[in-house]
Structure 1
Amino acid sequence: MDTATRPGSASDGGTVELTILMPCLNEAETLGVCVRKAMDYLARSGVRGEVLVADNGSADGSQAIAEGLGARVLPVPERGYGAALIAGIRAARGRYVIMGDSDDSYDFTALDPFVAKLREGYELVMGNRFRGGIKPGAMPPLHRYLGNPVLSTVGRVFFHSPVRDFHCGLRGFNRDAMLALDLRLPGMEFASEMVVKATVKGLRITEVPTTLSPDGRSRPPHLRSWRDGWRHLRFLLAFCPRWLFLYPGAALFLLGAVGMALLLPGSLHLGRVTLDVHTLLYASGAMVMGFQAVQFWVFARIYGAQEGVVPEDPRLTAALRRFGLEPALIVAAVLVVLGLGLGVAAVAIWGAERFGPLTGMAAMRVTIASVTSMLLGLQLAFGAFFVALLGMMRAKGPEA
């Protein structure tokens, strides 16, 4: 077997076709088995490749074990699963990279399906443990029946990804294509970031069946179910803020608007239930909170796109260019003036009562509408200025 002796360029991969990449943090019990299996695969298949261990600061002699078996060891000082893999991808010498955990839960002698799909032109080849088989004791029931299915479903719904096992640790990819994604997350959520960004950027993605075995370690895994599960979900929500802000905010705003329209004229009777001014106040709150949530979606998309965290939304960008700062301020001014006018009307109703105790609910209804209108106007004005400061909203002028 001919291992890599010099790095290839990012464009042609040098003389190395495949890098088998293993992140490692104190895996002395199982790392040797994994490296031997990977070396055996390269020798048997004739694939020109290397085994690269991205070591995250092991203190149990893992580095010496890997080097003794012919693997290349890359020290990665920044802690984290994602940090180790990002550094490993950058240092890989192969045109293709197949990454897998170094706990002996994946079979590095069975990489032919990954290599075949990569050679066909697929840029990300995911293992699917649910199709390939999960051996008894290999995956906790919490992960098998709740965590993985829920997070994978969220990923497919949010991003229309074809991947049905988002968190399989055995996956292959074209190195250049992966570097172009600018992967950044240092923790376990790196697994989701890779799939999501590959989907959003339109990379060719496929899955191959993969068998998951119980890992060979005597210590607990680095994974923390609830903490890391939340980090995955948090990333999915942040990368697709329409599900976190836009859809809930729009629904809340519309619900509040309907409530305001129905209750401003007077109380509403639904069978034995009477909705009155108190419900009107909650409807007002729903409108304000919903509007603010939608604004947060706009802010998140703009700032996230500028920072390279989320993809730019062409429709939002086009809408902001058409609806610039000045039109937004005009609408905001109309809302504020309307609110002030309603406030004057409320004072007039109070004056009719000689500025004494109010006996009816008319003044309260008008007051709630007044405050709601002014709040929405001020929120719109401040939001428009903030978007302008972010550099995404263009004021319409004579030169436009």
Structure 2
Amino acid sequence: MALSVRNDQVEVTVLLPCLNEAETLEVCISKARRALDELGIEGEVLVSDNGSTDGSQEIAVRAGARVSHAPIKGYGGALINGLDQARGRYVIMADADDSYDLSNLEPFVEALRSGHDVVMGNRFRGGIAPGAMPVLHRYLGNPVLSWLGRRLFNLKIGDFHCGIRGFDRDRIRQLQPCMPGMEFASELVVRAALNGYDIVEVPTTLSPDGRSRPPHLRTWRDGWRHLRFLLVFAPRKTLIWPGAALFLGGLVGTSLLELGPLVVGGIGFDVSTLVYTCLAMLVGAQLLLFGAFAQIYGRYEGITNLRQADRWSKYLKLETCTAGGVALILLGLVGTIVAIATWGASGFGSQDVSATMRVVLPSSTAIGLGATLIFAGLFFSLLSLRRVSAAVADQEVASPSTLATTAG
């Protein structure tokens, strides 16, 4: 992201992402300008245009806004460009569909002046007009994603995806947001939370948008993109902890069933259960490794805790993984040889399937885990091969001002 020079005379930039919003853009700009004037704020309205073909650019200029062309397509692309081009100390972003109350910016400005880094609007506290939010979004999508965001990132936010929010321009620029689509809304608040920013909510209202065409938002596609982003940004809670639980459960089950049948609460467990405990070990180990890789990648991108990522980096060195992997493979080969020798002692005839499987299944699992561990070391080596420029960037990421903490 190229740095732009901020005009210290401009306190607030009202940022409107735009893609063919000719029907509602002028009224949004007028409301924002009037609100700034009534508050006595030196401000501007910036329209970050995403390639409109309906004359939105000309409408914006006539209404008194500044227009900037966003080269990256998408909601996030427009906002990233606007963040780069904004001249104000504070930025208040909102949709250009006339659904948010741009005539009432005072709560956002007051909270920003009080020192909060991010000020989120809360539509459920401020009021949602009939027909303003689809039933699926109001009672399923937004509550579920907001709950998940609170659980994964320890946030106390009731409306995780409200489209109107304010923030300190330079503080958010330090986070270097990069999501080009609708998931930018999640990225902004998640990155801010992971970096310990001060986030607060203020009530806001939501009205039916004034457009005659359907909105750009696609319920299932964009909902999935938000969900995917939340899960990927919290690798400990979504990958590492479940993987550890699955692996340890499988290890305990395999160790017990290897000795013989097991009865718990009147229910018998035997070789068929052993198959699934071995599977649990394999799947759990892969979840753990994927979670570790996610944290290491996040460390390079400045979104996870440095100590945790460095700890994984020590464990996943090629030499360490190769040594552990070879040991597991040898252990599995020993079990395989024992199974073959036992079969040979009977003249390679019929076998006691139950007794044989108690040796073969753990042995093959050990071989599989060993191979997985070796390849994990190779992958980490590839992941850690970085250019000099990237290494320099790491030093900047590791500085006290930008070091992130993880909630995942």
Stretch moving more, 23-32 or 226-235: 23-32
The one-letter code of the counterpart of 2:375 is F
Unaligned runs of 5+ in 2: 386-408
Q: 1:335 to 1:62 in 2, by over 3 A?
A: same
Match of 2:162 among 168, 171, 182: 168
User: Which secondary structure state, in structure 1, belongs to the residue aligned with residue 89 of structure 2?
Assistant: strand
1:277 alignment counterpart: 271
Q: 1:86 to 1:323 in 2, by over 3 A?
A: closer
The one-letter code of the counterpart of 1:98 is I
2:344 alignment counterpart: 351
Map 1:52-71 to 2 at 5 A.
Answer: 52-71=46-65
Match of 2:183 among 176, 183, 189: 189
Stretch moving more, 271-280 or 103-112: 271-280
1:384 alignment counterpart: 377
- Offset of 1:368 from its aligned partner? 1.0
1:370 alignment counterpart: 363
1:86 alignment counterpart: 80
Match of 2:91 among 97, 107, 114: 97
The one-letter code of the counterpart of 1:56 is N
- Distance in 1 between residues matched to 2:313 and 2:179, nearest whole Å: 30
CA RMSD of aligned residues (A): 1.9
- Distance in 1 between residues matched to 2:334 and 2:162, nearest whole Å: 60
Asked if 1:143 corresponds to 2:111, the answer is: no
Give per-residue Cα distances to partners, 1:305-355, cap 9 Å, x unaligned: 2244x3244124135337754444333232222111111111121022111
Residue identity (%)? 55
Q: 1:154 to 1:205 in 2, by over 3 A?
A: same
The one-letter code of the counterpart of 2:333 is L
1:335/1:376 contact within 8 Å kept = yes
Q: Per chain length, whose mean CA-contact separation is higher, i.e. which structure has more relative contact order (CA < 8 Å, sep 6+)?
A: 2
- Distance in 2 between residues matched to 1:188 and 1:111, nearest whole Å: 23
Residues paired across the two proteins, number? 383
2:24 alignment counterpart: 30
Give per-residue Cα distances to partners, 1:146-205, cap 9 Å, x unaligned: 111111111111111232211111111111011111010111000000000000111111
Match of 1:214 among 208, 217, 232: 208
- Distance in 2 between residues matched to 1:243 and 1:319, nearest whole Å: 16
Q: 1:43 to 1:359 in 2, by over 3 A?
A: closer
User: Which secondary structure state, in structure 2, belongs to the residue aligned with residue 22 of structure 1?
Assistant: strand
- Distance in 1 between residues matched to 2:114 and 2:295, nearest whole Å: 35
Q: 1:179 to 1:257 in 2, by over 3 A?
A: same
Match of 1:154 among 134, 148, 163: 148
- Distance in 1 between residues matched to 2:165 and 2:265, nearest whole Å: 59
Stretch moving more, 177-186 or 371-380: 371-380
The one-letter code of the counterpart of 1:118 is L
The one-letter code of the counterpart of 2:380 is V
Map 1:245-324 to 2 at 5 A.
Answer: 245-270=239-264, 273-308=267-302, 310-321=303-314, 324=317
Moved over 6 A (4+): none
The TM-score with structure 2 as length reference comes to 0.89
- Offset of 1:246 from its aligned partner? 1.4
- Distance in 2 between residues matched to 1:246 and 1:276, nearest whole Å: 29
